[in-house]
Each structure stands twice: as structure tokens, then as C-alpha cells.
Structure 1
């Protein structure tokens, strides 16, 4: 009898989690889609679907302190993994092609360099930088999302920009 009760409790926990996930989806999906549409255009729906698949795969409770920042971070991570796959494919193609026939465009080199610089930033600086530059959030919105003061956002952004500029000068 206790085995049946355990299975019932487990199913009840799953349905509660499913209900919370569904409520989370209904609340934030329109915002997320609108937020990403300007940057990703026709790929937005695919990206949003991938984000929700990753969120659904998280085993932990969905008690997320800053849901919008969390969803943007998931989107950013998906973008990074896509960029890594693209770079790996590019390396394979470059090694198979005769030298010089598949050189990267200068803008692609710059984009890769900037991405590497941003990824090398300390986490607190990177979070503020990514939310500002890639998420399009204002300092006040970032402060609210990260539960820090707007002055701290300003300071971290200044430090992040200074570090990025120093790396670009190298």
C-alpha cells in the first residue's frame, strides 16, 4: 500500500510542478517572445521553444527570484552554445579547405573577439553587461532584475566597458 501512496505522491508533485511551469510559461512567454523578436526575427519562435524546453528540463523547483533575467540568461546560453557549434563547424571546414580560401570576414573576427572578451568578464560584470547590451534593459531594470542598486549597475557597467576596451586595445 505504501508503494501506491508513493507513486500517487510523486504524480501529485509532478502535476503541481507542471501547473507551476504552465503558469510561468503563460506569464512570461509573451514578454520573452516580444523581447527576442527584434533581435532574432523569424528565428524567435524556435529560440523561445528551445528556452522553454530547457526550463522544463530543470529538475529544481521553479522558484526563480528574477524570472526575466533568468529567461534572458537561458537565451544567451543557447546563443553561446549555437555559436560554439558554429565555430566548431567552421574550424573543421577551415582545416579541410586549402589555406586562405575560407578566411573569416573582418566583422566576424571582431564579433568572435568581442564575444570572447565578454565571456572572460567576471560574472557580476558580465551579467550587467549582457542584460544591458544584449537584453536592452535600462540600468533601473537591471537593478530590479538583479536585486542591486542602480548605482551598483552603473559601477559594474563602467568596469565591464573599461575591461572590454582594455582587451580590445591589446
Structure 2
């Protein structure tokens, strides 16, 4: 390949090194101007993704293709980060975990409940049982379970509002 071929962006099928040498600094500078973080990682991944095109000799406008791949990588990473944040926010049980003071207060309020309401409340909220499972276990109707949970919640709520 001649120098004029490289200056015009024409690279042979197996001239991956030439493609990198000729455009890596340009791509790095361009991504920095765009405010991309982790530029070196993006550039490296861009060249990994352009390799199949290079091997098939399908690159006509290397700068355009490099920039498009790099921008797609940055956008893909942004979407991945957003998904992870949404997932973390929806699955982080400790995010809304009560403080130690709140835990002690809640325990005191639950202990003040009458025994039938307390048992059902504990099985429902801390035992993870459904109303049907509680009714079967305690040999009462589902309606009784619902009524006692409602009463327990009202009592706890009224105590918290004081």
C-alpha cells in the first residue's frame, strides 16, 4: 500500500495495524472533544468491533465508521448503566430499610397489638405468607385474616400518628 492510499483512508484487507496507526489518535481526540469518559476503552472496543469489516475489506470511509461505532458504544454503555441503576433501585431492599430506632419503635408497636392481630400481622408481613396460607395455617377464614390485618395496620398507623 502506498502512502497516498493511507492518507486517503484506503487500507487493504489485512492492514489493521495501518488503520489503527492512521486513525487512533484522531478518534481519541474526537471522543475527548465530545466529552466521552474512558476514551481509551472506547477506542479499544471500537477497533475490536471494526476488525470484521477490515477483514472483509468493507471499509470505504474509515473515520465515519470508526466514529459511528464509537458513538454507538458510548450510547450502549449509557443504556446499560441506566438499566443497572433502575434494577439496583428496584431490588435494593436496604435502600428503604428502617433505622435501628425505627426498628425498635415498630417492634414495640407490634408487641402492643392483641395476640390474634399480632400473629396474623407477623405471618403476613414478616413470614411472607399469603392471606390464604395464613387462613389455612391458623384454621380461620380468609376474610378473618383480612379483617385482622386491616385492624393491625390501623392500630399501628394510629400509634405512629401520635
TM over 0.5: no
Structure-2-length-normalised TM-score:
0.44
Larger helix proportion of the pair:
1
Structure-1-length-normalised TM-score:
0.42
